[in-house]
Structures are given as C-alpha cells and as structure tokens.
Structure 1
C-alpha cells in the first residue's frame, strides 16, 4: 500500500504514515495530500489535532472540500528537540505548530532568536543542516543525517515542548468508496447553510438525546459568506449503531435544502511511538 503525507523524511506525519503503509511519499501541504488520495495514492495521512495547539485548520478545510473517507486514527506523542550545527545560531526553523508548541521554552531561553515557520519539522532540520546560523525543532532521531555524507546535528536540548503530554492525532484518509461504518469513533461534517437561534442546540440534541458523546465539535468558515459556518463533529459511536443512524438522519432533516451532511466514516484509534 502507498501513502502520502507531509514531507520530507522524518516528519511526525512520516512516522505516523509508516504505521499505515510500507511505501510513503510526500507533499508540501495537507490540501495536496487530500487531493492526491484516490488518484495517486491509496491512503493519505494528515494531522488533525494537537493536544497543545488544537485543531489543524488546513486539514479541517481540506476534508470539507473533498469527497473522501477516514478509515483510521493514529495518535503519536510529540517529542521536540532543538538541533543545530553548534550552539551559536540566529534563527529557529520548524513547522508553525511546532514553534507554537515550544513557545514558552523559546521565549525563555532564546528571546532574541528569530523564528522561521517552514512546511514541516523535518524541513526545519534540513535548514539547520544547510545553514550553521539556523537551528531546527523536530524529533531527536532526525539529528543524524540520513545521507552518509550529510551533516549530523548537535542536540542542543531535548523535550523542549511546553507540555510533556504533547501528542498529535492524525487521520488516515482513503477514497470515499472505502468508508466504513465499523469503529469506535465516527466523523462527520455538517453545513446547515442557515443561521437562527437554537440551530446549534438542535444539532447537538440529536446526539445527546441518544446518549452519544461528542468528543469534538469545531466550526470553520464555509467560505461562502462572512458569518457562515460548517461544523466538524467527532462522535464516540459507530455508524452501524441504530442510535447513530437515527442521529444522522435527524441532522440531515435539520439542515436546509441547500445544506449538506458529509459522513467521513467510522474508524478505530491506533497509538504509535
């Protein structure tokens, strides 16, 4: 099986993708990953939520724009290390989420060092190999160059994330035809295309009245007009359960004729180191 995720080699996304597929290729954006599923790749692996910084909005938006399914969730702990060619550096480069996850550490230890957001943690480490003025933040395993003739980096500090409980959820995306109704969790996206007092309460009551726990609800701009939103919902129930079917049917009845409900599927959670 071939999967696509955020590159280059050594990203946390890459570590998650290796639990899914033997062959892993890379793209520079989540949008490109989701777009490639079905046409070029059997699976895509995208970050969806971090325990410190919250949801990855690009992933939410990409899932709302494409007809795909979610077939698995991979949760991996995040261990950030600060790596450079020496202790003398002027810039720290990493993914914007990683920089945010290490905000307190960087402000305390390196308040005068410039921060540079790049496409991934591994790309930040590559910048550090290329430029002695740059340090990277990423997994400590990336300090050793994969190229025998490449530059190994010094680990300046380990576990520089602001909370030791730091972890990220990744969703494994597949073609829409592979959507499953079996699994401990389900994800759906609701676009009501309406706005009136009590709308959100109606959506939530469809699950509460059936004793279905909502483990996550997030609103995102629809892109249609200012103040218009769609909702991403994670529920702790399988789609094959009668109560879940009835809840989805009620949601479909609530949205307007021009609205929609996209069910991404049910799936189980895997923990990967």
Structure 2
C-alpha cells in the first residue's frame, strides 16, 4: 500500500502516515493529496483535519468537500514542538502557520524580535534552518541532527496539544463500520432555525455530535457547507434514520457520507 501526505520527510503528517503504510510519498498541499486519492493514484492519503489548540485545518475541510473520497480511519497524535537551529542567535523562525500559532506565547516571550516565516510544513521550516544559520525551525525534536540542535523542547502553548488526521481512501472503500461518522451537508438554503433543524435528527436519537463546523460554499456570500462528525456508525439504524431526516431537510442541496471509522492513537 502506498500513502501520500504532506512532505518533506519529518512532518507530523509523515509520522502519522507511518502507522498506515510503509511506502509514503509526498505532496506540498492538502488539496493535491485529496485529489490524488480521489483519482485513484494512491491507496491512502493522510491529511491533518483538526488541532486541539488552533482548531480545524480549513484546507482539509474544503478539499474533502470538493473531492469525493472516503474517510477510513482517524489518527490522533500528540504534537511536541521544538525549536531547532544551528546556533542560539536567530533572526527568523520558520514553520507551518499552525505550528507558529501553536507556539505564539513562547515566541513572543523568547524571540520577540524574530520575524516569523510561514512555510508549507514543519519539516520545510527545519530545512530552512539547515540551509540558513540565521533561521530556526519549529518541528518535531526527532528532526535534529549533527547540523541542528534543539534550542528548546515542548514549546507549544498547551501541553495537551494534539492533532487529528483523516486517513482517506478512494470513495468505493467507504465503510459503514466504525464508532464515528463524518458527513458533509450542503442545504442550499438559508432561513431562521435551519442549523437547529439540521442538528435535531441527531439529538432526537441520542447521537452525540463531536464536531460541527461551517465553511463557505463558494457559491455566494452567506452560503455555507456544514461538516458534521457524530459518535455513531453508519451501520446503526438510528444513524441511517437521522441522515434520512437530514436529506429531507437539505432536499435542495445534498448530504455526503464520508464514511464510518475508528480512532487510532499514535505516539512518537
């Protein structure tokens, strides 16, 4: 099995992907990854979807709404950020925008004069530190080596920092088995009480909603797509009945089942 995820080698996505496949290839954006899985080019794709500090990864949400794929597993991994550099005196700190945000308090306290550079991944930030002695990267401490030292470890603002990843597969592999289900709903409507109507079918059946988020549909201003995660499987009658009600409410739009799946915790 070949998996594709955010590169280069050493990203948190790469570390999560090792729990899925032995052979891993890289792309530079989440959208590229989702598109490659949807086309059948890869067996699996691993994309970050939510962080406990910074919230949802909006590019991932938009990509799974744009391309027809299945979610077959979620991986949750703790995030341990370290500051890596060739020397203690640095002028720039480079990393993924989410990592920079997750270490905001540390950077403001210890490197208030450093410029912050957002790059495509934490591993790319580490590469920048290898290329330029005036740059420090934020990434996993395991990315240090002879040319880079760990200036500080565990610099994230919250010790409970963790990221949730979706393991994606071609749509024909969508499963109804699993303890969680992800849905995307586009009601193509806007009126008072609409969101309440969309959520009531789950409340009435005692189905816990673990995440609800809206994203712009791109069709017009004020028009939204809703991402809904529930703690129930598609194999359950109560889930199927709730979705049937949802489809009636969203009859002008659509409801997409990304699939049911279980959670794997990966610690590195």
Counterpart for residue 94 of structure 1: 95
Counterpart for residue 265 of structure 1: 259
Equivalent residue in structure 1 for 2:188, among 159, 184, 193: 193
Q: Tell me the secondary structure at the aligned position of residue 211 of structure 1.
A: coil
Q: Distance in 2 between matches of 1:260 and 1:194?
A: 11
Q: CA deviation at 1:152?
A: 2.0
Q: Distance in 2 between matches of 1:255 and 1:237?
A: 21
* Superposition RMSD in Å: 0.7
Structure 1 segment 40-189 matched on structure 2, within 5 A: 40-144=41-145, 152-189=147-184
Q: Does 1:23 align with 2:23?
A: yes
Q: Tell me the secondary structure at the aligned position of residue 262 of structure 2.
A: strand
The two structures have a TM-score, normalised by structure 2, of: 0.98
- Deviating above 6 A after TM superposition, structure 1's stretches of 4 or more consecutive aligned residues are none
Equivalent residue in structure 2 for 1:202, among 194, 197, 206: 197
Deviations 1:176-220 (A, max 9, x none): 000000001000000000001111111110100000000000000
Q: Does 1:215 align with 2:210?
A: yes
Q: Distance in 2 between matches of 1:272 and 1:112?
A: 35
Q: Distance in 2 between matches of 1:58 and 1:227?
A: 19
Q: CA deviation at 1:51?
A: 0.2
Q: Distance in 2 between matches of 1:236 and 1:256?
A: 24
Deviations 1:97-136 (A, max 9, x none): 0000000000011110000000000000000000001000
Q: CA deviation at 1:256?
A: 3.3
Aligned length: 266
Deviations 1:41-76 (A, max 9, x none): 000000000000000000000000001000000000
In structure 1, list runs of 5 or more residues that go unmatched.
Answer: 145-150
Q: Distance in 1 between matches of 2:56 and 2:76?
A: 14
Q: Tell me the secondary structure at the aligned position of residue 73 of structure 1.
A: strand
Q: CA deviation at 1:39?
A: 2.6
> Would the aligned equivalents of 1:194 and 1:256 in 2 still touch at CA under 8 Å?
no
Q: Tell me the secondary structure at the aligned position of residue 227 of structure 1.
A: coil
Structure 1 segment 2-41 matched on structure 2, within 5 A: 2-37=2-37, 38-41=39-42
Q: Distance in 2 between matches of 1:40 and 1:237?
A: 30
